[in-house]
Amino acid sequence: MGKLKIGILKINKVDKEVAEHLEKELPKIFPKSECEIISEVFPVPIEAYNKNRKQYYSSIILARIREKTKNFGFDIVLGVTELDLYVPHLNFVFGEAECPGKIAIISLHRLRPEFYGSKPNRKLHFERALKEAVHEIGHTLGLPHCSNQSCVMFFSNSILDTDRKTFHFCEKCFKLVKRKCGNG
């Protein structure tokens, strides 16, 4: 079995250093994987915008990414955006993914400490982005949410949950990841 190929797709303008951090770190977490930033930037589909909520409906963006990237040759495509995402009946989402599937998306909007009135902290911002990226890619591999609060597959209801968990899978979840990545 070949390597799991992960592509990072920037949706509109995205913090370059965050994308590069993910590109470097994701292959360390997913066994036998490789990751690259897709050079083409994907413009956010305007129909995803909800002007009452002033947010973007992530499921619409996911569907458009699926169409756009179907011949790009990646096993998994992770969309990254600075825009604020939602799904109906939730105030916001940090991300969304096909479970199982190929497409995932994360929003950096609510990961910046400044969003919560705190001082800018690049290291914390990068770490939060990695946690959300690993979480959503975990879903594409078919992993459900995990009840272990420190496992990356724990559901983040708020940034406190994101900060409490690590960017690692618990032993139970990692067994599934290894099987999906062809190592186990």
Q: Is there binding between residue 166 and Zn ion (CB under 5 A)?
A: no
CB 74 within 8 A of CB 65: no
In the sheet that holds 4-11, the strands lie side by side as 33-37, 4-11, 76-81, 103-107, 95-97
For 133, phi then psi, to 5°, come to -65, -45
Q: Is there binding between residue 11 and Zn ion (CB under 5 A)?
A: no
| 3-state SS assignment for residue 23 | helix
- According to CB under 5 A, which one of 129, 137, 173, 177 is a site residue for Zn ion? 173
Q: Which candidate in 34, 127, 136, 171 is catalytic? A: 136
Q: Which is nearer to Zn ion, 35 or 170 (CB)?
A: 170
> 34 catalytic, yes or no?
no
- According to CB under 5 A, which one of 31, 82, 87, 148 is a site residue for Zn ion? 148
Using the contact rule CB under 5 A, the part of the chain among 28-36, 40-48, 114-122, 168-176 near Zn ion is 168-176
Using CB atoms within 10 Å of the CB of residue 162, give its burial: 0 to 12 exposed, 13 to 18 middle, 19+ buried: buried
What is the tally of helices (H) and strands (E) in the chain?
5, 8
Q: Which is nearer to Zn ion, 19 or 106 (CB)?
A: 106
Q: Which of residues 88-147 bind Zn ion (CB under 5 A)?
A: 146
Minimum distance from CB of 149 to Zn ion (Å)?
Answer: 10
Minimum distance from CB of 109 to Zn ion (Å)?
Answer: 17
- According to CB under 5 A, which one of 26, 77, 78, 170 is a site residue for Zn ion? 170
Q: Which is nearer to Zn ion, 21 or 131 (CB)?
A: 131
DSSP per-residue codes, 135-173: HHHHHHTT----S-TTSTTS--SSHHHHHHS-SS--HHH
Peptide bond into 100 cis (omega under 30): yes
How many residues in the shown chain lie near Zn ion by CB under 5 A?
6
Which residues contact Zn ion by CB under 5 A? 146, 148, 151, 153, 170, 173
> What are the residue numbers of the active site?
136
